Amino acid sequence: MKFKFEKIINGKNKKRGGKKKQPSFMMQLATSVIIFMVIGAVLDAAFGDKTDNKITLSELTTLVSENKVEQILVKGELLDITLLSVDGAESVKKESKKEVGTALSQTLVNYGVTPEALSLLDIEINEPSGLGYWLGIILPFLLPLLMLLFIIWFFMKQMKGGNKQAMSFGNSKARLINPKDKKKRVTFKNVAGNANAKQELGEMVEFLKNPKKFIDMGAKIPKGVLMTGLPGTGKTLMARAVAGEAKVPFFYLSGSDFVEMFVGVGASRVRDLFKMAKKMSPSIIFIDEIDAVGRSRGVGIGGGNDEREQTLNQILVEMDGFEESEKVIVMAATNRDDVLDSALLRPGRFDRQVRIELPDRKDRRAILDIYAQKKPLAKNTDLQVIAERTAGFSGADLESIMNEATIIATMAGKKKISQDHLINAFEKVLMGPKNKSHLAGEHEKRVTAYHEAGHAIVASVLPDADPVHKVTIIPRGRAGGFTMKLPLDERRLPTRAVYYDDIAMGLGGYAAEMKIFNDITTGPSNDLKVATATARDMVTKFGMSDSIGPIVVTGEAAKTLFGGQVSSSQRSDKLLEEIDAEIKSIVENGLKRAEIVIDDHYDAFVDIAETLLKAETLEQAEYNEILKKHGIPLKELKKVI
Ligand code: ADP
Ligand code: MG
Ligand code: ZN
C-alpha cells in the first residue's frame, strides 16, 4: 500500500475544501464502535454459552449412573446428551464438554461410572470433519479480527480518498491528450472559419513543430496566448487543434479545477503541471476558463479567494520562470477577458491575444457542413438557408441545431433529415435556454448595417481619419456591430485634425441612422459617449479649443511651481459654462461633417450597407473594392521605419 502518511498528518488535508462534506473523525469512530458492539452481540447469541441446558461432567456422571441417559453424541469436545424420555414425553437434550485429550468413556470411568452403566449407554462419536464445525470454532475468533481489519481498511480508504484529491494531480485532473491518439486528434480542419485566429495560432504551431529553427534565429516566441470570445465560439476546440496540428502533448485543465481544492494545493498543482509539461516538451498547457483563477486580485470577499490568489501567483511565477527554449506554450481561454488580472496580460505572460469571433454567414455555413458530414441529409435540405437565419449563433449553437435535427428526424421515424427538421431544430435552439437577445431581427440588422456603413464611409472619406480595416454587423458583446479602424502609422502625438475627424467618424453611425430611418436607436449611445469624451479632452486637456485657449481644466490637481495645487474646483462657473458650450459645438460640428460625407457619397454609403447586409462582414480587401467602385481613393499606408 502506498499511503503517504506525511500528507495525511499534514494539517492541510484535515481542512477539506467545503465541497464534499466528509464525516468527522469522531463520527466515524462512533460508527465503528457501534458496529463492533452489534457484531459482538450477534456472535454471542450464535456461539455463546447457552446456560439453561448446560450440565457439568459430574452432573453427567450422576445422570449416567442413574441410567437416565439415552445417548451421548461426541463432537470433538462437545457432548450432545439426549436423556431418556419419561412417559413418552419429548426427550430432553443437554450439553456438556468432556476433558481434552481423553476418551469419554475413560472420563466417565474416572468420574466413577460403573462399567455396567457405561455399557448401557449409547455413545456415538461424530468426529468433526464438516466445514461447519471448523467454522464454528474459528469464526468466533476470526470475525472480530476481520472486523478489525475492515475498520482499519475503511479508515485507510477514507484517508487515501482525501489524499487522492490532493495528490494525484498528474493522473486525473489535468487531462493529457497525446498526439499519438489519432481518435482524439483535432486539427484546424475541424474548426470552421476563424481564418485570422488560425493564422495567428499557426505561428505557434510552426514554433512547436520546429523550435530549433526559431531559437537559432534568436526569435522570441510568446509564452502565453490568450483566446477570448463568447461562449461556444470554439476556443477550446481551437486550442486542441493547435496541439493537433503541432503534434505535441496537450495538457488540458480548467480554471475551476484549481479552485475546488484545499488551500495551497492549487499552487502545487500548477507547479506539477508545469514540471510535467517541461518534461514532455515541446508541449502545450491549456488552461480553459482562466477567469476562474485569473480574476483581478484584491477584489471580492470571502474564502477561496486566498486560494485563487496563490494559484494565480503560481501561474505567474511559472510563466516567468521558464525560458523560451523550454518549448512550452501556455494557452488560455476565457469569455471574460474584462475581469482578468492585468498581471496576466503583461509581456512575457499572456502577451498575445487571439480573438475568436462569432461566425459570419460563410463560416456558419462551413460549421453546419462540418456537422452535417456524417448525418443522412435528405436531398431537399439547404444548409445555406439555415446559415442565413442564424446570425449571432455560435459554433456550439450550430452544432446543436444539427444534433437536434437528427433527434427530431429519428423521433419522427425518418431515415433522413429534411429541411423541416432543420428548421424545427433551429427554432428549438433559438428558443433554447440561452437568451438569444442579441440575435438581431431583419430590421435591427438593417439599422446596424447602415449604422456601420455610416462610420465606415466617414472614416474612408475624411483625410485624417484612420482607414477601415473591417466592418461587421455580427454582434459583439453589447454592440450590434463594429467598424474596425487601423491607424495608418503610429501617431504618438495626434493632431487636432485627427481628433476632429475621429469625432466625425464616431458620429457617422448616428448620422446614418438619422438619414435613412429618420430616427435614432440606442445603438449609437456609446459612440456619443466616446465622441463627447474626446471633445472634452480636446478642450480641457490639450488646449485644442480656440475659444478656451491653452489652459488645462481637468479634475486632477496639478502642482504649481511653488508647490501649491490647482484643481478644477477653483475655476469660475463662467469658464465651465464656456467649456460645455465648446464641447457641444465640437461634437455638433463633427456630426455636421459626417452628414455632409454621407450626402456626398450616398451611393457608396448605401452600397456598403447593402453589401454588409448580405455578407455580414467585410474584410479590408472586399471593403476597398466598394470604395474603388465609387471612385473613393484608398488611403495609403505610410511606411514607418
Ligand atoms: P468555447 O470553448 O469557446 O466555449 P467550445 O470550443 O467548447 O467553445 O465549442 C463548443 C462546441 O461548438 C464544440 O463542440 C465545437 O465542436 C463546436 N464549435 C464551435 N465553434 C466551432 C467551429 N468554428 N467549427 C467547428 N465546431 C465548432
Ligand atoms: Mg470552452
Ligand atoms: Zn457606432
Among 188, 237, 252, 365, the mutation site with the greatest number of ligand 1 atoms within 8 A of its Cβ is: 237
Tens digits of per-residue pLDDT, 527-558? 888 899 889 888 888 888 877 777 776 655 55
Domain 442-629, CATH homologous superfamily name and number: Peptidase M41 (1.20.58.760)
d(C-alpha 283, C-alpha 323), whole Å: 13
For 141-195, the pLDDT digits (tens) are 888 889 889 888 887 766 654 444 433 443 346 677 776 677 777 888 889 888 8
Domain map (residue ranges) of the chain: 21-151, 175-355, 361-431, 442-629
Q: pLDDT category, 135, cuts 50, 70, 90? A: confident
Q: What is the pLDDT of residue 11?
A: 36
Q: What is the pLDDT of residue 589?
A: 94
Is the omega angle on the peptide bond into residue 282 within 30 degrees of 0, that is, cis? yes
- Output the pLDDT for position 591: 95
- Pick the ligand that lies closest to the CA of residue 531: 3
pLDDT, mean of residues 192-218: 85
- Atom number in ligand 1 closest to CA 400: 12
Least confident of 132-141, 482-491, 505-514, 607-616: 482-491
The answer to whether the CB of 406 is under 6 A from ligand 1 is: no
Predicted confidence band of residue 79 (pLDDT cuts 50, 70, 90): confident
Say whether pLDDT at 130 is over 70.
no
pLDDT at site 274: 84
- Average pLDDT of 489-518? 85
- Averaged pLDDT, 8-13: 36
Average pLDDT over residues 196-223: 83
Asked: is 361-431 a CATH 1.10.8.60 domain? The reply is yes
Across 10-14, 37-41, 486-490, the highest mean pLDDT is recorded for 37-41
Task: Look at residue 16 and tell me whether its pLDDT is greater than 60.
Answer: no
Residue 8: its pLDDT value, please?
34
Please tell me if the CB atom of residue 396 comes closer than 6 angstroms to any atom of ligand 1: yes
| Residues sharing a CB contact under 8 Å with residue 129, sequence separation 6 or more, in sequence order | none
Select, from the ranges 41-45, 215-219, 261-265, the one with the highest average predicted confidence (pLDDT): 215-219
**pLDDT score recorded for residue 635:** 77
Strand partners for 330: 224, 285
Query: What would the mean pLDDT of 267-294 be, rounded to a whole number?
Result: 82
For residue 453, the CA-to-ligand 3 centroid distance in Å is 9
Q: What is the mean pLDDT of the chain?
A: 77
- Active-site residue, selected from the candidate residues 452, 513, 595, 616: 452
Kindly state the average pLDDT of the residues 306-322: 76
Mode of pairing for the β-strands spanning 78-83 and 69-75 = antiparallel
Phi and psi based region of residue 120 (left: phi greater than 0; alpha: psi -120 to 50; beta: remaining):
alpha
| Whether the CB of 402 sits within 6 Å of ligand 1 | no
Residue 134 has pLDDT above 80, yes or no: no
Ligand 1 site, residue 174, Cβ cutoff 6 A: no
- Verify whether ligand 1 is closer than 6 Å to residue 333 (CB atom): yes
Which of 22-36, 196-210, 409-423, 568-582 shows the lowest per-residue confidence on average (mean pLDDT)? 22-36
Neighbours of 537 (CB within 10 A): 14
Which ligand ends up closest to the CA of 192? 1
Of the listed ranges 204-218, 476-490, 555-569, the least confidently predicted one is 555-569
pLDDT in tens, 83-128: 877 776 677 788 888 777 777 777 777 777 777 777 777 777 776 5
Q: How many residues does the chain have?
A: 641
pLDDT bucket at 14, cuts 50 / 70 / 90 = very low
Domain 21-151, what architecture? 2-Layer Sandwich (3.30)
Question: pLDDT band for position 5 (50/70/90)?
Answer: very low
CA nearest neighbour of 272 among 297, 246, 294, 251? 251
Is 197's C-beta closer than 6 angstroms to any atom of ligand 1? Answer: no
Q: Which atom of ligand 1 is nearest to the CA of 237?
A: 6
Residue with the larger pLDDT of the pair 102 and 381: 381
Per-residue model confidence (pLDDT) at position 595: 96
Instruction: Read off the pLDDT of each residue in 425-440 and give the average, rounded to a whole number.
Output: 62
Evaluate if residue 623 carries a pLDDT over 60: yes
* Residue 66, pLDDT above cutoff 60: yes
**Is 452 annotated in the active site?**
yes
**Quick count: other Cβ atoms within 10 Å of Cβ 343?**
15
CATH dotted code for 175-355: 3.40.50.300
In degrees, rounded to 5, the angle at the alpha carbon of residue 342 between the alpha carbons of residues 339 and 348 is 135
Nearest to 185 by CA among 277, 247, 276, 253: 247
Residue 187's CB is within 10 A of a number of other CB atoms, namely 15
Cα first-last separation, the chain: 67
For the residues 56-77, what does the mean pLDDT come to? 80
- The more confident residue out of 462 and 82 is 462
